[in-house]
């Protein structure tokens, strides 16, 4: 059983590794970004509010995000372990998560930190293609689908995320360095950060993750 976080800059490869990890360890993958995009496409009140921030590359306010995660963590599929992807992104969110876990009587086993140079991130993000149905991620160079524009997993037509443009990426990187990097220090103090080299190929990054997490599924 694993209860994990995955952290890293936008485009570092969190979603890509999360998809591999969830299958390997059979745990729930909770991506706040995916949850917001789902809410936006369903035009829910949360989606309508979150859209403005996401389109500008800013963080959705803590209050909304924390409530979303608190509800999600109570779901039955999280009982066998989970991997939180893209949360927490602020110290306030990390503190709120500590409280949620305390209430549930559980602890985190580790925080996977995918380390990358900022220089590769623009290319990774502008080349990203995503499946709007099953959420599988692709890249026009490093992870091509078998048939161009079509999801290998479910056959849906791939899309480019509205916020995956160069202008928004600059904001997202700034937000990451200012607001999210301190969260890593927060967990370093608890000695639970597992650094992995995100500059390697997708499969090599995953090998490093598995070695460092250990075989205990
Ligand atoms: P994040 O969830 O951290 O924003 P993604 O997992 O969506 O990032 O990855 C961003 C893009 O980079 C995707 O198009 C993905 O296919 C690609 N990618 C992910 N990891 C690597 C890697 N190690 N090397 C090259 N490309 C990668
Ligand atoms: P992601 O899919 O992780 O790249 O997230 C896409 C966007 O959703 C981010 O740029 C934020 O605007 C928003 N978002 C995702 N997770 C969070 C979070 N934990 N806190 C605030 N905003 C978030």
Residue whose CB lies within 8 A of the most ligand 1 atoms, among 17, 136, 142, 151, for a mutation test: 142
**Candidate list 128, 129, 135, 143, residue with the active-site label:** 128
Alpha-carbon gap, residue 141 to 25, rounded angstroms: 28
Please identify, by atom number, the ligand 2 atom nearest to the C-alpha of residue 53.
12
Cα-Cα-Cα-Cα torsion 78, 82, 86, 89, nearest 10 degrees, comes to 80
For the Cβ of 168 lying below 6 angstroms from any atom of ligand 2, the answer is no
Alpha-carbon gap, residue 191 to 184, rounded angstroms: 10
Query: Which of 44, 47, 45 has the alpha carbon at shortest distance from 55?
Result: 47
Cα-Cα-Cα-Cα torsion 38, 43, 49, 53, nearest 10 degrees, comes to 50
Alpha-carbon gap, residue 185 to 112, rounded angstroms: 13
CATH 3.40.50.300 fits 2-116+166-213, yes or no: yes
Q: How far is CA 90 from CA 39, 46, 97, 98, in A?
A: 21, 19, 11, 13
Alpha-carbon gap, residue 179 to 53, rounded angstroms: 15
> Would you call 172 a catalytic residue per the annotation?
yes
Q: Which ligand is nearest to the CA of 40?
A: 2
Question: From first to last of its 217 residues, what are the pLDDT tens digits of the chain?
Answer: 699 999 999 999 999 999 999 999 999 999 999 999 999 999 999 999 999 999 999 999 999 999 999 999 999 999 999 999 999 999 999 999 999 999 999 999 999 999 999 999 999 999 999 999 999 999 999 999 999 999 999 999 999 999 999 889 999 999 999 999 999 999 999 999 999 999 999 999 999 999 999 865 5
Cα-trace Rg, the chain:
16
Alpha-carbon gap, residue 113 to 5, rounded angstroms: 8
Q: How far is CA 136 from CA 153, 156, 175, in A?
A: 7, 10, 25
């Amino acid at each position: 059983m694993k209860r994990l976080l995955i952290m890293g800059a936008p485009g570092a490869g969190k979603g890509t590794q999360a998809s591999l990890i969830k299958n390997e360890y059979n745990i729930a993958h909770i991506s706040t970004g995916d949850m917001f995009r789902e809410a936006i496409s369903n035009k829910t009140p949360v989606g309508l509010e979150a859209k403005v921030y996401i389109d500008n590359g800013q963080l959705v306010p803590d209050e909304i995000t924390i409530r979303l995660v608190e509800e999600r963590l109570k779901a039955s599929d999280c009982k066998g372990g989970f991997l939180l992807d893209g949360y927490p992104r602020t110290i306030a969110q990390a503190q709120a998560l500590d409280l949620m876990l305390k209430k549930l009587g559980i602890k985190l086993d580790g925080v996977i930190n995918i380390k990358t140079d900022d220089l590769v991130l623009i290319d990774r993000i502008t080349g990203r293609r995503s499946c709007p149905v099953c959420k599988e991620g692709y890249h026009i160079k490093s992870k091509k689908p078998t048939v161009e524009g079509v999801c290998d997993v479910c056959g849906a037509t791939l899309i480019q995320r509205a916020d995956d443009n160069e202008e928004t990426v600059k904001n997202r990187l700034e937000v990451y360095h200012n607001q999210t990097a301190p969260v890593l220090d927060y967990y370093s103090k608890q000695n639970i950060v597992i650094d992995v080299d995100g500059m390697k190929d997708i499969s090599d990054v995953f090998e490093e993750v598995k070695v460092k997490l250990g075989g205990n599924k």
